Chains A and B, each alone.
Chain A
Amino acid sequence: MEFFDNHKKLFGTAFGLFAGLTIVVAVLPAINNQRRNVPLMNAVPLSKEAAAGKDLFIANGCVACHTQQVRDVDMDKVWGSRPSIAADYALNTRLDFWRNTATLMGTERTGPDLSDVGNRQPSQAWNLLHLYQPRAIVEKSIMPAYPWLFKEVDSVQKGEVEVIVPDKYAKGIHGKIIATTDALNLVAYLQSLKQLPLPSGMPSPNFLYKKETKTNAAGTTSKLPDGASLYTTNCQSCHQPNGEGMKGAFPALKGSPIVNGDDLELYVNIIMNGYQVPRPEYATMPAVGTNANLSPEDVTAIINHEKTSWGNNAKTVTVDQVKKIMDNIKITPKN
């Protein structure tokens, strides 16, 4: 055919087809999205520190293992209270003339999603130690350690933040470990990653592919969820698998008067709304229960797990007791 034997016509057509499709599936949708790129009303730009931290996050390729997107599927519920929407990424613009926009949505989840990590793990002490040596705080982690973001000094000056390294990882350290500005900025960025509540009236997309709730045939109330598993997901990274916490940072649950005592209202309140231990060296506990949207069944399972593990041997509680307290808590607004 004449058409196929004319290189100008042939290659011109192939190029035209490809370029046309490119415009339809990539260029126009991207431009369209960019034009309607409006952040949520309550969105705040990154602070100077957090912006510097984001640069470090990009430079070190953290996106290779950490996503920042809560998909609209039920299994992603653990990473945020609602699916991510386009407006969540609207504040991301080109970094500069040399570097592209970094929405950092990611394609691999070798490590946890970070969309809402600022709510889930706000503690600076936890984040710093975790950056210095992830395995010091999450034993099974395979995340790289970032010791070059820290400095060894003889004594800690005012304004410097010390990282207490557990003995196991402190070999060869003679002085004290302090965080550099880089480390503090990176943590500031992680702390800034919070899912914003949608303005009232704006519908949130639903989570799809919901797990079927298991009710047994007899119709009786189903058994409590697995407390050990919930503990691993929500509590373990601070209070540790052995319930002993971290010396000087996170209190032990083993032998704890609150866990083993009878003040259930205080106990439930701590899980739902967080806690400031009245000792300065301890980190503030975030509102784990509220953030993770734990149900009374979940909270009961966690409490009973903690009351009966690591040598603790206290009386377990029932869902009804916990539910009553949680209903009361809900009336009093947070903060």
Chain B
Amino acid sequence: MAGQKLGEAIKAVLDVIGLGLKYTIKPERLTIYYPYEAPDYMGRIRGWIGLWTERCTSCMICARICPTNAIKMYLEKNGRRYPGIDYGRCIMCHYCIDACPTYALYPTEIRDFAFYKHEDMIYTPDMMRKPPQVPKLVPEVVKVVHEYRNGKVVKLRVGKLEEPKPLPPAPSVPVVES
């Protein structure tokens, strides 16, 4: 067995103990203290999906392209059908947003939402302007990012996480993220 020699092995053991002691004294942490801090994705993460009903032409492409059949078209009082999303099935792939020919579906970066009942997960078209309300655990949530400097990780604070707001009225020009 061509393994480590005794001296080599003892050196390796002392090496790891030294490494452990180094980090015990001076830790190098990556942790984001979750309810107090939240990672910042610069608005680029795919999250909750809003809908401007006034732009929707009821073409149903969103419902058909959905890989998980999460979108159902609901008949509204005006006789037209609008999409509603079941967040129990949605995988946040945003295919529906990308397929929408009239930009009626609107992407947000709201990811942290939870529901008490399964029925609450089903969003009907009239609910799709108001983002889900997340019960607040702490008064203010700080957004943080990991930056790298000289081969070290630095956690930077980049502002506060805001309350999800209802969607603004539909803009007349196409909305492009980033």
Tell me if chain B binds chain A: no
Where the two chains meet, the residues of A that have a C-beta atom closer than 8 Å to any C-beta of B are: none
